[in-house]
Chains A and B, each alone.
Chain A
């Protein structure tokens, strides 16, 4: 049995029901082991012997956390025996240094594994390029490494766990099984979301009984995710791939490239958020709340707000473990203090903030993939967000003079559309096949733009027909209505659940039939592979 997607017969039709039944019929004490066994089994199905890397990371953070605990206990014991404040301070400092060393080594090993498996070919390729530019004869052989599924996700979880233990936000867990389950709970292995120990670990290990409501709500969430993925993302795959991979061969103009950027943005959202719905729904069936990764991102009014709504768990991870540590570092604190005196309250913290933004967005770009287009994608957002912060007083001033109210609907719509366009350009860079390709696509977009090809029917030669467009439009309207309701604070699922059975059931059955009939599967459709599983 092979698994390459959560939206597959193997997962939804076989694996999940078996785990659910086993979990439901076995006693409470055994249930956490059912989840752990199932998670490790799924990991094995997807990565086989590469699961060893995961086990290494898990044992490493488990032991490091226990070591930290031991150091803290030793520090307390020694402090209790200390005779003076100075002696206590010295004991604390010595202990803190040791703790820091443990954390740094643990994090470096975890990040090191990720760096070697995922990034070494990229760095060595670039090194070879530098050698060849310098006309040197040196050429390094590029090793080929296989990385386990979800390494980018579980590595970040590992770092957050050890960091939080060090910062005493959580206590070191003495239960290796619980730590392992937190790291690899089967729905989150492939595409996240990136969970925090404090949010999920205890609940995962509690072995709570199955509840009818949880199971049915979980299924509903899964179905909605399936609809997004199977009806929208899979349907768009052919045309998007055609535009991005063959734009040179097909001599496509800027209009079609713009369409490609728009469709890819929709496809990426439908695929990623659809899969996350399946992930969250799977957790919900067991009564486990997996954090939301999307909060109506296309309603964002700025790029920084967009990133608070899109891939939320990645954004908060970077905020907590890169942005804050960088801005709160001693050197940058001093810089801010000095700058504040010269530049004032708004611009004073800017230099430190921009340095932190740079670190965040460089890492964000690199996290998405070992390629210059991803670094460019990160830098694109760094520039947009930095400019957004820098020009805020100026734009406030201008809007004030023009008497434009930020809270009025027309301005809100303008900012939403503006943000969406910036996002589409970012995704154009993101989905290009390399640095030069992204430059080429941007060049076509801005120098050869024409609306003519969009309306002369030539798009129907790219892997989509009139019917596909019709059903895409209908499904996007459904997704928009649900998103809009959520944006207005409504809980659509709760509202449907409160309706009488003759209203509820047709809605549920209608959704299933909609997926069965309009799903882009079979025939010449080429379902999209999980995009974020590669990151």
Chain B
């Protein structure tokens, strides 16, 4: 009996190992080559490499707060400017810097937006298990590239992996959180790690050298934000000569923490992101004088993506 159990156990484990090996090999095949240059541990922001040269007006950088709050297709729908979110989960500023440098090789946006949650993340040398997992089994992200391997269309298909959501990640669920006044005014200041301050300075200087404006944005998050952090970022923005917008203090956005957050106040869901879009799209367009390119035939693809995007929003949420 024991022998049978051991035999079956070995069989099951062998099957799982074989399967994982197959998926690993396929991941190597499906992963776009450019990602090696990017040195990224997350996959989503790599989509920016597939965007046409100098086609983006705004680039967003940051961690998961950025990719759940900024929706470029929604910005396009509202104000007609093109943008991309080069954000990855738990992004360290060291990685942000490398993203900024890589992305600005082919793009010359009018403004670079940096979400500020990562300012307070201490840089660790090791990456998380999930990031490593996603990186290893990148077929889960790039699986749709099979369409690039089969020549069904007469015109050539672009090699790079394109992200139709332009870096935004949709969170549809809603997990309410207890409403609290998390932005109580105070003079206290939370300290930003020295290494992070240096990275911020490097990023800002890099952008300034290319005549690109820098805007720090703190996206709404009960879990991650408070007035101490606001004060710290405000001071740093003044010091480095960047603009600063704290969406947590913008009452007109009217985030409902019962319906607009995906995980009890940590990240916004699609409803919250839509409210952020309604506020920030005209803000960016006006402040940085962004052109409405909806009528520009070179950006016809963006207009098509809006209808796809709407389809996702029309669907009912179970939350």
Residue ranges of A at the interface with B (Cβ–Cβ < 8 Å): 2, 4, 46, 212, 238, 241-242, 245, 461, 463, 465-467, 470, 505, 508-509, 512-513, 516-519, 521-524, 526, 529, 533-534
Q: How far is the CB of B48 from chain A (nearest CB, A)?
A: 15
* Contact string against A for B residues 18-49, beta-carbon threshold 8 Å, 1 for contact and 0 otherwise: 11001100100010000000000000000000
Q: How many interface residues does B have (CB within 8 Å)?
A: 36
Task: Name the CB-closest residue of B to A470.
Answer: B152
CB distance from A118 to the nearest CB of B (A): 16
Report Cα–Cα, A193/B315, bound state, in Å: 25
List chain B residues, Cβ under 8 A from A238. 308, 311
- Return A59 CB to nearest CB of chain B, in Å: 27
Q: Is B173 in contact with chain A by the CB < 8 A criterion?
A: yes
* Cβ A517 vs Cβ B143 within 8 A: yes
A524 contacts B312, C-beta separation under 8 Å:
yes
User: Does B314 belong to the interface (CB within 8 Å)?
Assistant: yes
In the complex, chain B residues whose CB is within 8 Å of the CB of A46? 318
* A508 to chain B: closest residue by CB: B15
Q: Is the CB of A524 within 8 A of B309?
A: yes
Chain A residue at smallest Cβ distance from B137: A516
* Inter-chain pairs besides A2-B319, A467-B147, A524-B164, 16 sampled, C-beta below 8 Å: A2-B318, A241-B315, A465-B147, A466-B152, A466-B153, A470-B150, A508-B15, A512-B19, A513-B23, A516-B139, A517-B146, A518-B143, A522-B140, A522-B144, A523-B144, A524-B309
Query: Which among A46, A512, A526, A529 has the highest number of chain B CB atoms within 10 Å?
Result: A526
B23 and A516 contact, CB distance less than 8 A: yes
A534 proximity list for chain B (CB < 8 A) = 316
Chain A residues near B143 (CB, 8 Å)? 516-519, 521-522
Contact at B163–A523, with CB atoms within 8 Å?
yes
Report the separation of the CA atoms of residues A67 and B179 in the bound assembly, to the nearest whole angstrom. Answer: 47
A2 contacts which chain B residues (CB < 8 A)? Answer: 173, 175, 318-319
Tell me if B146 and A518 are in contact (CB < 8 A): yes
Task: Pick the residue among A4, A245, A509, A517 that contacts B173 (CB under 8 A).
Answer: A4
B8 at interface, CB cutoff 8 A: yes
Residue of A at shortest CB range from B309? A524
Q: Which 8 A-B pairs have the closest CB atoms?
A: A524-B164, A4-B318, A467-B147, A526-B312, A466-B152, A2-B173, A212-B8, A524-B308
17 contacts between A and B (CB under 8 A): A2-B173, A2-B175, A212-B12, A241-B314, A242-B311, A463-B311, A467-B146, A467-B150, A470-B150, A505-B15, A513-B23, A516-B140, A518-B143, A522-B143, A524-B164, A524-B312, A526-B315
Shortest distance in angstroms between B28's beta carbon and chain A's nearest beta carbon? 14
Complex Cα spacing A524 to B8, Å = 41
Q: Is B141 an interface residue (CB 8 A)?
A: yes
For the complex, give the distance between the alpha carbons of A512 and B16 in Å.
11
Asked whether A529 lies within 8 Å of B312 as measured between CB atoms, the reply is no
Task: Given A2-B319, A508-B15, A524-B164, check contact A463 B308 (CB 8 Å).
Answer: yes
Q: Which residues of B contact A467 (CB under 8 A)?
A: 146-147, 150, 152
CB contacts (< 8 Å) of A519 on chain B: these are 143
* A-side contacts of B19, CB under 8 Å: 509, 512
Give the distance in Å from the alpha carbon of A461 to the alpha carbon of B312 in the complex. Answer: 16
- Is B165 interfacial (CB-CB < 8 Å)? yes
Mask, B250-267, CB within 8 Å of A = 1, is 000000000000000000
**Pair A523/B164 contact, Cβ less than 8 Å:** yes
Q: Is B285 an interface residue (CB 8 A)?
A: no
| Interface of chain A: mostly helix, strand, loop or mixed | helix
B305 at the interface (CB under 8 A from A): yes
The chain A residue sitting closest to B164, CB to CB, is A524
Which residue on B lies nearest to A520, using beta carbons?
B144
CB distance from A473 to the nearest CB of B (A): 12
Q: What residues on A are CB-neighbors of B30 within 8 Å? A: 517
Are B140 and A505 in contact, with the CB atoms below 8 A?
Answer: no
How far apart are the CA atoms of A505 and B18 in the complex, in Å?
9
A526 and B311 contact, Cβ closer than 8 Å, known pairs A2-B173, A467-B150: yes
In the assembled complex, the CB of A466 is this many whole angstroms from the nearest CB of chain B, namely: 5
Can you list, as one digit per residue, whether each of B61-84 has a CB less than 8 Å from chain A (1) or not (0)? 000000000000000000000000
* Complex CA distance for A201 and B254, rounded to whole angstroms: 49
Closest approach, in angstroms, between the C-beta of A25 and any C-beta of chain B? 13
Contact between chains at A509 and B308 (CB < 8 Å): no
Beta-carbon contacts under 8 Å, B135-180 to A:
139-141, 143-144, 146-147, 150, 152-153, 163-165, 173, 175
In the bound complex, residues from chain B placing their C-beta under 8 Å from that of A533 are 318
A505-B15, A509-B18, A516-B139 known; A245-B314 Cβ under 8 A: yes
Nearest CB to that of B318 among chain A residues? Answer: A4
Q: Which residues of A contact B316 (CB under 8 A)?
A: 529, 534
B166 CB, nearest partner CB in chain A, Å? 10
Taking CB atoms, residues of chain A closer than 8 Å to B304 are 461
CA distance A519 to B319 in the complex (A): 24
Chain B's closest residue to A517 (CB) is: B143
How far, in angstroms, from A470 to B26 measured CA to CA in the complex?
A: 21
From 103 to 130 in chain B, residues with beta carbon under 8 angstroms from any chain A beta carbon are: none
A223 to chain B, nearest CB (A): 11
Task: Tell me which residues across on chain A come within 8 A of B8, comparing CB atoms.
Answer: 212
Find chain B residues with CB under 8 A from A509 CB.
15, 18-19, 22
Closest chain A residue, CB of each to CB of B21: A509
